Structure 1
Amino acid sequence: MSRSGRLLSLLQLLRGRRTPVTAAALARDLAISERTVYRDIATLIGEGAPIVGEAGLGYVLRPGMFLPPLMLEIEEVEAILLGLKYVNQRGDDVLRRAVVTTRAKISSMLPASVQIAAFDEPLAMPGPVGEQAEGPVPVSVIRRAIRSQEKLEIAYADAKNDHSARIIWPIAVGFMESARIVGAWCELRQDFRTFRIDRIVSAVECGRYTERRATLLKRMHTALLGS
């Protein structure tokens, strides 16, 4: 068991007890030494866990809110930020202020490389969200290209099912009423365009674009959204 997994298991054991539990009992349940239990208890207390007690007498987790340090994948961060963006658009003033502080807390926990990927692009564009149409190219392919700033050579079918070949610089994934879209710079049109992801027939990476995504994002907002 990893150390982080062991700490979480220890917390779960304490949450399930209303009376103090000794280090010996915890060590037996976790198949570790008492010394390790003492060390892990000290670590959790240092991280802010409301654990009270002492060696020999036992420990108890007091009521209260405590979230241990989280290990988040980039997709999990994106999911959280998408939810925060929705709250920021639809919530009241209190919730909007909470969005600002929550984003700041998440940002402080992320390494610089992940912060750039997570915060340098919007995860939603204005519009209601409903059942999303699926296409032959997974959204994960588009997201990966956005994070790595890779151009995509795509085959695209428009609303009339007319096909065209494009090279795009994907910038942001958006969620509209019945479809996901990707906002991108289109080399063919030499302008910003949005493409329904379910109408992208194929997509192949074809080299990096060098202009910073944050800069492209601001320009795209001005061009497409007027902001």
Structure 2
Amino acid sequence: MRRADRLFQIIQVLRRTRKPLTADAIAAELETSKRTIYRDIATLMGQRVPIRGEAGMGYILEKGFDLPPLMLTPDEIEAAVLGAQWVAGHADSTLARAAEDLMAKIADTVPERLRPFVLEPASRARPSWNREPDRLDMARTRSQIHEGKKIMLRYRDEQGRPSERMIWPISVGYLEAVRLLAAWCELRSDFRSFRTDRVVDATYLDDKYPERRDVLRARWRQSLVWGPPKDT
């Protein structure tokens, strides 16, 4: 590993944790010697990177330190490109276009030596899937999730039975051939997941639901994991 890359990786290791890390722990992760880590941390401190600590006690990166944009390692580029490929083939048109734009921006911004990791990646996601069409405006649905606002769904279940549901949308999940909208359902007073291709119509309301988004999401995570749609 080049020294410049190792210095960058030391910062990355430190920013992942809130607890002091010893030189031994950092050296083990980066597969180098403790002496090298001591020397590299001294260099970073000399460059005014806000690292606190000392030998034997551990080191910590103070809050508020920002790296220059897109200082990415080859593995991080591969991960970003693989994720963007998957989104381009699985998400709605707005996110798919954003994923393609993201890959183009990464390719234009990274150094020339790293560009092959974007243009000729070693990993590749399936470019498309056979999915049922959405009956929801997915961009608007994501906006309602971020803003904590309600949606009125007109919905048909697996047996074709119609219902109206006032929901508090939480998250959109992806299964092999369908998307699921996880939500709190006022009708059932419980969490439910709705297949987006079974939605007949949706009204996006300005009413915010009464519970804080983070609290609702935490309760949802405790209650279930993604699985078959529970829309009854």
- Normalised to the residue count of structure 1, the TM-score between the two structures is 0.42
- Normalised to the residue count of structure 2, the TM-score between the two structures is 0.41
